[in-house]
């Protein structure tokens, strides 16, 4: 063997290297020069772009019926984007290797033939494993932290778990007792003379607070465009709330199978101005404080 | 006295006396006697219960209906009678009877029970041979998928016909629930049943499972559990979805009892099968098969069995308590008498979530098992794969509350359970890296099983990312209970689980049946179903994003277009699955005969003849190398490879892969 056939890790760039080993960045650079690695990177970039474009389509679908109607729904949509962007590169990288192998980028054996030779005996690769685990863990940790912060945000938005006097909004909330029964919703405004309605009417930009329960089986109170959902349980009261920020008519649906006519257990929420709300209350025979 | 003489004197091995012909009672029992015995015992139980309950109801009562829950008690006892009678009729109690009579099991008896030298009738009997049980499981699975698939077509027909109600709401809700639970049962057994029973003992180098008679018991308990479930459609249905949340289930007609008896029986079957598989895997691996030479499929089945054994009892308890609410008028889950609906939801989801991994882990492990064979490369980072499987098994215990984010049960618990749910993606990502690393620079052999790997990873990526949305409580506040969830779990259970199982079955088909699965028709069926699947569930994601709740039969016209597309896709899946079924049946009868080693694999099942002989191996094998020792030395690592140096000199110096 001639000297040029020694383990050729001493490349021309680093003639002075005392250990005769190139630096790690150099190894990465050389790895990146392999043709298939470059192609894979390009495919990854392309798929990432597609996924990011798709995330806008997804949120557009969520808004098709008139949302977002509240700050909570805005937070949910923001979180959709963050989750998609965080996962996109990893997902795209996976799909890139998949498509590259499928298209025969590394060659392939037709189904009628039999493989005649073995592939490279790559048992494992410490660098790849450590990198992958680190990247996945960091991304998962980021998702967890983001999720925890967002959950705290929307919880205080809907004052689900904070006392009423800690509300950021100074307006006096509209309290509504929501009762599910097979198969209709009824709404009860205890602060406005206990008027009852089968339709939810709320003033815009005023916090609405819900005490939700059920008379018979488990229902789920879902105000679709406001991004709020909580089960209505028999024998228990659950709480949720939101501040509607958009005028309009939105949907209330039951999101838990509750028997025969579950599909028809839906009604509407009308978000109106404070004046319209007050006159609606008076029409129903209730009393208004303002 | 010499030692040699003593040995000679003791060379006569003591054997118990053969009382009757080998097999004894089991010579007379088969599927037909089981059916007759089941029906007769059910009728007797009904009659006796009716007499007793009317006596309890007091003077003047002519039948049990005088009791508030009289009908429920009668139906329950009738189903219990069916299960006991069926098991007696198949001969499941022959062992205890023999023990009480003081008869010993002779070698000839055991061989009869294992179906030695028996023709096709062994498939209709209480046969202990693991290969027979494997085939029985395969057929039962196919029947269940056929039935569940038919119900799926009915559901999609209703949802596609947006202008009318095709079925009445009660029937529609019943087929939703029945489709769900039938498919869940089929998916739980689809790998662990046929492959776990047929292939795993051979792969471990054993002659049979650890407990052959328990093996037969598990399959026949499963078969006994199916009729009560299916009969619910004739008895008012289970109009509650597969989760049968209380107290809605308490309102349901008597069909609900069929569901509960089915789950209680099926849980016994699963527990017995799990114990059997775990013992076989832990104790009966061949000499030399250390834990680092054990095939990854065996690990997958082990992990799945552990989860089934630990968590299935929770589901069983929940159904026993619900049944007791119904018959004995207890109030575990009746809020008006102090019960808790949240207790039911917790018990249910304690199994309900690990069950997803019970389904997905064996399917994934099956793909990992044969992927090296089709790229002729070692499994990338075997130890990472094992860690991934057990990471998922461990974390699966602490994620169930993510199904209950929106129940209002304990809003504070959403924080830790969101954390654990998102953390489970880390061990799952290990398995993804193993798949990618094994594909890396390999030349895939484009047979159907290999193509299934691509299909499954695609589905898993989509199921995975949509799972990230759902694991996040704020986003789940919008998504929970919507069609988005339905599409997501179909991507995991059907996309990863069922399509994975189709790949795994097409891989092991030649070893199990002795003939290759027809490549052309199998592929046409597979890809047709795959295309239909993408159409159906992509479109269902859209419906969910638009805000369509699940389990409805009529809906806002906003969702019409996506539902039409979904229904068309579902019919395409149906056609594809029928073609695949045709491929299975046709290949079973006249496929190309398979050699001993159908694909060139290195695991033990490839070192016995095809079809596998009675007791699997003439001589028990000794393992001396790993199961995935494929591959030639890596050219990028061979620094002194002259050709490499000439052509791609700059590249070969770089890192290993």
This model of the complex carries an ipTM of 0.90
Q: Cβ of B552 and A262 within 8 Å? A: yes
Is A172's pLDDT higher than 90?
no
- Residues in B 376-405 with any Cβ partner in A closer than 8 A: 376-378, 380-384
Q: Are residues B103 and B166 in the same domain?
A: no
N-to-C CA span, chain B: 70
Chain A: residue nearest B335 by CA? Answer: A235
Q: Give the distance from residue B416's alpha carbon to the nearest chain A alpha carbon, in angstroms.
A: 9
Best of A4, A96, A117, A147 to mutate (most B CBs within 10 Å, chain B): A147
B 284-303: CB under 8 A from A: none
pLDDT for A3 equals 43
Q: Residue B623 is encoded by which pair of tokens?
A: 């393992």
What is the bridge-based pairing of β-strands A238-242 and A248-254? Answer: unpaired
- Residue B2 clears pLDDT 50, i.e. is over it: no
- Select the residue from A181, A255, A268 to test the B interface by mutation, using most B Cβ atoms within 10 A: A255
Please check whether residue B259 is in contact with residue B246, taking contact to mean a CB–CB distance below 8 angstroms. Answer: no
| B479, B538: one domain | yes
> In chain B, pLDDT over 90 holds for what percent of residues?
76
pLDDT for residue B8:
53
What H or E segment, with its residue span, contains residue A176?
A: strand A174-181
Does residue B2 lie in a domain region?
Answer: no
Beta bridge partner(s), residue A221: A230, A254
pLDDT of res. B6: 47
Quick one: tokens of B271? Answer: 């527990």
Q: How far apart are CA B79 and CA B46, in angstroms?
A: 9
CA atoms within 13 A on the CB side of B221: 22
Q: Which residue has the tokens 């969520």?
A: A62
Average pLDDT over all residues of chain B: 90
* Nearest residue of B to residue A61, measured between CA atoms: B546
pLDDT class for A159, splitting at 50, 70, 90? low
B438 and B501 belong to one structural domain: yes
Residue A18 is predicted with a pLDDT of 53
B431 pLDDT more than 60? yes
Q: Cβ of B166 under 8 Å from any chain A Cβ? A: no
Query: pLDDT tens digits for A214-248?
Result: 999 999 999 999 999 999 999 899 999 998 999 99
Closest CA relative to residue B197, chosen from B514, B589, B598, B605: B605
What is the structure's pLDDT at B635? 62
pLDDT of the residue at B52: 87
CA B654/CA B657 separation, integer angstroms? 8
Q: How far is B447 from chain A (nearest CA, A)?
A: 5
Per-residue CA distances from B489 to B370, B460, B579 (Å) = 25, 10, 24
Identify the pLDDT of residue B492. 95
Domain end, chosen from B127, B151, B166, is at B127
Look up residue A113 and give its two tokens.
Answer: 């033939």
More confident of the two residues A67 and B644: A67
Alpha-carbon gap, residue A137 to A131, rounded angstroms: 10
For residue B221, give the nearest of B90, B334, B95, B25 by alpha carbon: B90
Q: The domain that contains B343 carries what CATH number?
A: 1.20.210.10
Total tally of structural domains belonging to chain B: 2
- Tens-digit pLDDT profile for residues B526-582: 999 999 999 999 999 999 999 999 999 889 999 999 999 999 999 999 999 999 999
With 0-12 / 13-18 / 19 or more C-beta atoms within 10 angstroms meaning exposed / middle / buried, residue B101 is: exposed
State mean pLDDT over B35-61: 88
Tell the burial category of A224 from Cβ atoms under 10 Å away from its Cβ (0-12, 13-18, 19+).
Answer: buried
Query: Which residues of chain A lie closer than 8 angstroms to B423, CB-CB?
Result: 140, 144
Cα–Cα distances in angstroms (integers) from residue B291 to residues A172, B453, B635, in the given order = 66, 25, 30
The rounded percent of chain B whose pLDDT value lies above 70 is 93
* Residue of chain B whose alpha carbon sits nearest to that of A107: B443
* Closest CA–CA distance from residue B153 to any residue of chain A (Å): 19
Q: Report how far Cα B243 is from the mean position of its chain's Cα atoms.
A: 17
Query: Which chain B positions have a beta carbon within 8 Å of A7's beta carbon?
Result: 639-640
Domain final position from B81, B110, B127: B127
A98 with B439: Cβ contact below 8 A: yes
Do B105 and B229 fall within a single domain? no
Q: Using only C-alpha atoms, what is the Rg of chain A?
A: 29
B632 falls within a domain: no
Residues in chain B closer than 8 A to A236 (CB atoms)? 335, 342, 408
* Cα–Cα distance for residue pair B599/B594, rounded to 1 Å: 9
pLDDT band per the 50, 70, 90 thresholds, residue B10? low
Q: For chain A, which residues make up each domain, given as ranges?
A: 24-106+125-157, 164-283
**How does residue A140 score in pLDDT terms, banded at 50, 70 and 90?**
very high
Three-class secondary structure assignment of B154-200: HHHHHHHCCCCCCCCHHHHHHHHHHHHHHHHHHHHHHHHCHHHHHHH
A258 to chain B, closest Cα gap in Å? 7
Cβ of residue A125 closer than 8 Å to a chain B Cβ: yes
Considering only residues A157 and B127, tell me which one the structure prediction assigns the higher pLDDT. B127
Q: Is the pLDDT of residue A97 over 70?
A: yes
Contact predicate A143/B401, CB 8 Å: no
Q: Across chain A, what does the average pLDDT equal?
A: 86
| Chain B: residue whose CA lies nearest to A36 | B441
Q: Which residues of A touch B322 (CB under 8 A)?
A: none
pLDDT of amino acid B67: 74
Is residue B570, in this structure, part of any structural domain at all?
yes
The pTM of this model reads 0.91
Q: Tell me: the pLDDT tens digits for B254-282?
A: 889 999 999 999 999 999 999 999 999 99
Token pair 């790949």 is at which residue? B503
Beta bridge partners of A228: A223
Judge residue B447's burial from the number of C-beta atoms within 10 Å of its C-beta, 0-12 exposed, 13-18 middle, 19 or more buried: buried
Contact B652 A8 (CB under 8 A): yes
Chain B residues with CB-CB distance to A119 below 8 A: 375-377, 441-443, 630-632
The predicted structure's pLDDT at residue A170: 59
Tell me what pLDDT residue B5 has. Answer: 45
Residue B486 near residue B564 (C-beta atoms within 8 A): no
Distance CA B81, CA B77 (A): 6
A208 shares contact with chain B (CB less than 8 Å):
no
Taking domain A164-283, whether its CATH number is 3.30.930.10 is answered by no
Are B517 and B418 found together in one domain?
yes
For B648, other C-beta atoms within 10 Å of its C-beta total 16
Residue B652 lies in a domain: no
**Whether B504 and B573 share a structural domain:** yes
For B384-403, what is the mean pLDDT?
Answer: 95
Q: Higher confidence at residue A42 or residue B249?
A: A42
B152 in the same domain as B83 = no
Tokens of A167: 């509300």
CB atoms within 10 A of CB B374: 26
Residue identified by tokens 């006519």 is: A261
Beta bridge partners of A266: A253
Checking if the pLDDT of B117 tops 90, the result is: no
Phi and psi at residue B60, in whole multiples of 5°? 90, -15
DSSP-assigned beta bridge partners for residue A222: A229, A253
Residue labelled with tokens 């089981």: B34
Residue B6 lies in a domain: no
Distance CA B428, CA A7 (A): 38
Partner residue facing B457 (CB), from A98, A212, A234: A98
Distance (Å, whole) CA B599 – CA A184: 60
Count of residues in chain B:
657
Say whether B468 and A143 touch across the interface (CB within 8 A): yes
**A30 and chain B: CB distance < 8 Å anywhere?**
yes
Determine which of A239-253, B13-27, B326-340, B497-511 has the lowest per-residue pLDDT on average: B13-27
Query: Which residue from B335, B461, B481 is facing A234, i.e. has the nearest CB?
Result: B335
- On whether both B501 and B548 belong to a single domain, the answer is yes
Q: Are residues B35 and B174 in the same domain?
A: no
Q: Are residues B35 and B22 in contact, defined by beta-carbon separation less than 8 angstroms?
A: no
Asked if B87 and B160 sit in the same domain, the reply is no
B641 touches chain A (CB under 8 A): no
CA pair distance B116, B110, nearest whole angstrom: 9
> How far off is chain A from B140, nearest CA to CA, in Å?
30
Q: Cβ distance B121 to B211 under 8 Å?
A: no
Per residue in B437-456, pLDDT tens? 999 999 999 999 999 999 99
Write out the residue range of the structural domain in which residue B175 sits. 128-620
In a domain, residue B469? The reply is yes
Interchain contact, B457 vs A123, CB within 8 Å: no
Residue in this structure with the two tokens 């962007």, named with its chain if needed: A85
Q: Which of A121, A153, A155 is most worth mutating to test chain B (most B CB atoms within 10 A of its CB)?
A: A121
Smallest Cβ distance to A31: which of B550, B635, B655?
B655
- Considering the domain architecture, whether residues B564 and B460 belong to the same structural domain is answered as yes
Interface of A with B in 59-118 (CB under 8 A): 61-62, 64-65, 72-73, 75-76, 79-80, 83-84, 87, 90-91, 94-95, 97-98, 101-102, 104, 106-111, 113-115, 117-118
CB contact under 8 A, B169 and A154: no
Q: Which of chain B's residues have a Cβ under 8 Å away from the Cβ of A161?
A: 411-412
Query: Is residue B653 pLDDT above 60, yes or no?
Result: no
Predicted pLDDT at B650: 44
Same domain, B386 and B496: yes
**Cis peptide bond upstream of A68, omega within 30:** yes
């Amino acid at each position: 063997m001639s000297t040029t056939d020694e383990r050729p890790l001493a490349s021309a760039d680093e003639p002075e290297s005392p250990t005769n080993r190139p630096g790690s960045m150099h190894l990465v650079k050389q790895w990146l020069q392999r043709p298939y690695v470059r192609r894979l990177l390009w495919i990854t970039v392309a798929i990432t772009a597609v996924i990011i474009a798709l995330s806008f389509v997804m949120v557009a679908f969520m808004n098709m019926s008139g949302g977002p109607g509240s700050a909570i729904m805005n937070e949910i949509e923001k979180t959709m984007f963050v989750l998609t962007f965080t996962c996109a590169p990893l997902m795209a990288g996976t799909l890139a290797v998949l498509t590259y192998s499928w298209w025969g980028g590394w060659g392939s054996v037709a189904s009628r033939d039999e493989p005649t030779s073995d592939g490279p005996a790559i048992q494992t690769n410490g660098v790849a494993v450590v990198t992958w685990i680190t990247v996945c863990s960091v991304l998962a940790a980021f998702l967890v932290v983001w999720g925890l912060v967002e959950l705290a945000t929307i919880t205080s938005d809907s004052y689900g778990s904070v006392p009423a006097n800690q509300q950021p909004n100074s307006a006096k909330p509209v309290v509504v007792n929501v009762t599910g029964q097979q198969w209709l919703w009824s709404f009860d405004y205890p602060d406005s003379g206990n008027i009852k309605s089968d339709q939810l009417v709320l003033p815009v930009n005023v916090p609405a607070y819900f005490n939700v329960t059920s008379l018979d089986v488990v229902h789920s109170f879902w105000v679709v465009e406001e991004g709020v959902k909580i089960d209505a349980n028999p024998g228990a009261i659950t709480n949720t709330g939101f501040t509607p920020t958009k005028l309009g008519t939105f949907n209330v649906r039951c999101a838990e199978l509750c028997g025969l006519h579950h599909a028809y257990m839906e009604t509407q929420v009308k978000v109106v101005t404070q004046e319209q709300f007050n006159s609606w209350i008076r029409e129903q025979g209730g009393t208004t404080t303002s | 006295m010499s030692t040699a003489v003593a040995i000679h004197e003791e060379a006569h091995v003591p054997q118990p006396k053969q009382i009757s012909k080998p097999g004894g009672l089991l010579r007379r029992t088969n599927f037909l006697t089981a059916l007759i015995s089941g029906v007769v015992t059910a009728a007797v139980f009904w009659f006796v219960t009716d007499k007793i309950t009317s006596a309890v109801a007091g003077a003047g009562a002519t039948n049990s209906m005088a009791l508030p829950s009289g009908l429920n008690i009668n139906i329950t006892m009738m189903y219990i009678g069916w299960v006991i009678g069926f098991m007696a009729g198949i001969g499941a109690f022959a062992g205890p009877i023999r023990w009480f009579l003081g008869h010993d099991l002779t070698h000839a008896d055991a061989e009869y029970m294992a179906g030695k030298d028996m023709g096709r009738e062994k498939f209709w009997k209480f046969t202990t041979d693991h290969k027979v049980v494997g085939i029985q499981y395969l057929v039962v699975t196919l029947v269940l998928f056929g039935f569940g698939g038919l119900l799926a077509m009915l559901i999609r027909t209703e949802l596609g016909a947006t202008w009318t109600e095709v079925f009445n709401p009660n029937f529609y809700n019943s087929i939703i629930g029945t489709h769900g639970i039938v498919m869940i049962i089929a998916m739980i057994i689809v790998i662990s049943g046929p492959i776990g029973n047929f292939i795993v003992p051979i792969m471990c180098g054993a002659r049979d499972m650890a407990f052959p008679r328990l093996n037969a018991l598990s399959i026949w308990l499963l078969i006994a559990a199916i009729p009560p479930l299916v009969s619910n459609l004739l008895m008012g249905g289970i109009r509650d979805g597969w989760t049968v949340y209380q107290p809605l289930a308490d309102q349901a007609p008597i069909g609900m009892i069929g569901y509960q008896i089915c789950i209680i029986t099926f849980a016994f079957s699963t527990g017995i099968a799990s114990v059997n598989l775990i013992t076989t895997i832990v104790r009966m691996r061949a000499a030399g098969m250390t834990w680092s030479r054990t095939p990854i499929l065996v690990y997958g089945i082990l992990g799945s069995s552990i989860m089934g054994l630990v968590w299935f009892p929770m589901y069983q308890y929940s159904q026993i308590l619900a049944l007791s609410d119904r018959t004995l008028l207890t109030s575990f889950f009746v809020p008006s008498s102090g019960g808790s609906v949240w207790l039911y939801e917790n018990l249910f989801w304690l199994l309900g979530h690990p069950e997803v991994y019970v389904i997905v882990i064996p399917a994934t492990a099956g793909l990992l098992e044969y992927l090296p064979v089709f790229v002729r490369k070692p499994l990338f980072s075997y130890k990472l794969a094992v860690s991934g499987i057990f990471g998922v098994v461990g974390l699966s215990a602490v994620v169930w509350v993510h199904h209950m984010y929106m129940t209002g049960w304990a809003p504070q618990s959403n924080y830790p359970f969101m954390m654990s749910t998102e953390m489970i993606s880390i061990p799952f990502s290990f398995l993804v890296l193993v798949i990618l690393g094994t594909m890396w620079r390999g030349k895939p052999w484009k047979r159907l099983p290999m193509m299934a790997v691509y299909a499954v990873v695609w589905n898993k990526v989509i199921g995975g990312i949509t799972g990230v949305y759902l694991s996040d409580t704020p986003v789940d506040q919008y998504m929970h209970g919507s069609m988005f969830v339905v599409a997501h779990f179909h991507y995991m259970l059907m996309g990863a689980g069922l399509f994975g199982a189709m790949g795994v079955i097409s891989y092991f088909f030649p070893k199990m049946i002795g003939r290759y699965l027809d490549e052309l028709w199998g592929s046409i069926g597979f890809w047709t179903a795959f295309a239909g699947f993408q159409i159906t569930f992509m479109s269902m994601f859209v419906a969910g994003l638009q805000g369509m709740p699940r389990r409805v039969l009529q809906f806002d016209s906003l969702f019409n277009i996506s539902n039409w597309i979904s229904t068309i896709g579902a019919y395409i899946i149906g056609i594809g699955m029928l073609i695949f079924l045709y491929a299975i049946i046709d290949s079973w009868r006249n496929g190309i005969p398979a050699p001993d080693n159908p694909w060139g694999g290195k695991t033990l099942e490839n070192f016995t003849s095809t079809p596998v002989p009675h007791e699997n191996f003439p001589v028990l094998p000794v393992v001396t190398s790993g199961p995935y020792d494929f591959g030639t030395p890596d050219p990028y690592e061979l620094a002194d490879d002259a050709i490499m140096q000439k052509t791609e000199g700059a590249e070969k110096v770089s890192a290993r892969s």
